[in-house]
Amino acid sequence: MKVIKAMQDNKVAEMHLSGTTGYGYNDDGRDTLEKVYSDIFKTEDALVRPQIICGTHALNVALSSNLRPGDELLSPVGKPYDTMDEIIGIRPSKGSLAEYGITYAQVDLLPDGGFDYDGIKNAINERTKLVTIQRSKGYASRPTLSVERIGELISFIKGIKPDVICMVDNCYGEFVERIEPQRLGQI
């Protein structure tokens, strides 16, 4: 219902489904689609492009556009998907964040699946620019994170470093709960 409402609110019409020149200038269809996504997920903006070919590519775009040499990326929920290894530089690769001078830190979850708040507090430093939170358990044996737990984690992190960017990989989480992670904290 929220998808239909967003389409209605943005007045999606037949004209928005027409082809374009590909240049992206005055592309009402693309602009309207991005407004629909932004409304559905209650975000400031959305980037919906066919050039983004998969979730890993989208995460790479987000990380690469926000991190600069000397910054640190922190994962407070353990190791991300293995597809992120070469992007981050956990496994050496040409063009990785590590190759550009961006460091990576990780705090594993506790044995019961809880957050290691002491470990997270100790890991956050002046270079911590972005915190990545993977909602899905992926191939790990941990539980999938609920929106409520993600909100608690973000509040804790922002209490330590208010200007840090919190990025949630909400892969496979969309439309499973009534609200999305960004509704519970400033991401």
pLDDT tens-digit series, residues 15-45: 888 877 767 777 888 899 999 999 988 888 8
Report which of residues 180 and 162 the model is more confident about: 162
Name the band, by pLDDT with cuts 50, 70 and 90, for residue 13.
very high
Mean pLDDT, residues 157-162? 97
Q: Is the pLDDT of residue 77 over 70?
A: yes
Contacts of 172 (CB under 8 A, 6+ apart): 135, 136, 144
Residue 174 is predicted with a pLDDT of 59
Query: pLDDT tens across 101-150, in order?
Result: 999 999 999 999 999 999 999 999 999 999 999 988 777 778 888 888 99
What is the predicted pLDDT for the residue at 63? Answer: 97
pLDDT at 49: 85
Burial class (CB in 10 A: 0-12, 13-18, 19+), 92: exposed
**DSSP secondary structure code for residue 142 in this structure:** S
Give the closest residue to 80 by CA, choosing from 141, 121, 3, 138.
138
Tokens of 150: 């993600």
Question: 168 near 182, Cβ under 8 Å?
Answer: yes
Identify the bridge partners of residue 134 per DSSP, sorted by sequence position: 169
In contact, 121 and 155? CB cutoff 8 Å: no
- The token pair at 2 is 């929220």
Query: How many Å apart are CA 174 and CA 6, to the nearest integer?
Result: 15
In the predicted structure, residue 57 carries a pLDDT above the cut 80: yes
Q: At residue 94, does pLDDT exceed 90?
A: yes
pLDDT for position 185 = 57
Over range 145-161, report the average pLDDT.
93
Rounded to an integer, the average pLDDT of 158-165 is: 96
Residues in the chain: 187
Residue 171 has pLDDT above 80, yes or no: no
Q: What does the pLDDT read at residue 187?
A: 47
| CA gap 161, 125 in Å, rounded | 8
* Predicted pLDDT of residue 45: 86
Residue whose entry in the numeric block shows the structure tokens 């991300």: 80
